[in-house]
């Protein structure tokens, strides 16, 4: 998990400035992504592989997540 502590995190453009839901994503090697709560950067984070990240983004963009 050392990759996550050294990663450059980017806050989602969909995260509001009102202290609400805030997600940060970091690009890792081999297309993997790190995901964490920007309100708790020292808290838990997880990694997903490129296939899972692509599928997740497609579902979110499509609106079929709901």
- Please write the tens of the pLDDT for every residue from 38-52: 888 889 999 999 999
User: Domain map of the chain by residue range?
Assistant: 2-62
| Residue 58 to residues 24, 26, 42, Cα–Cα distance (Å) | 18, 18, 28
Average pLDDT of the residues in 16-26: 76
Name the pTM for this structure: 0.76
Q: What is the pLDDT of residue 60?
A: 83
Q: Are 26 and 11 in contact (CB under 8 A)?
A: no
Q: What is the pLDDT of residue 16?
A: 65
């Amino acid at each position: 998990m050392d990759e996550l502590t050294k990663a450059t995190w980017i806050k989602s453009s969909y995260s509001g400035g009102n202290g609400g839901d805030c997600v940060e994503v970091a690009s890792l090697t081999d297309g993997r992504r790190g995901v964490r709560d920007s309100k708790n950067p020292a808290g838990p984070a997880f990694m997903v592989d490129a296939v899972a990240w692509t599928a997740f983004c497609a579902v979110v963009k499509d609106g079929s997540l709901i």
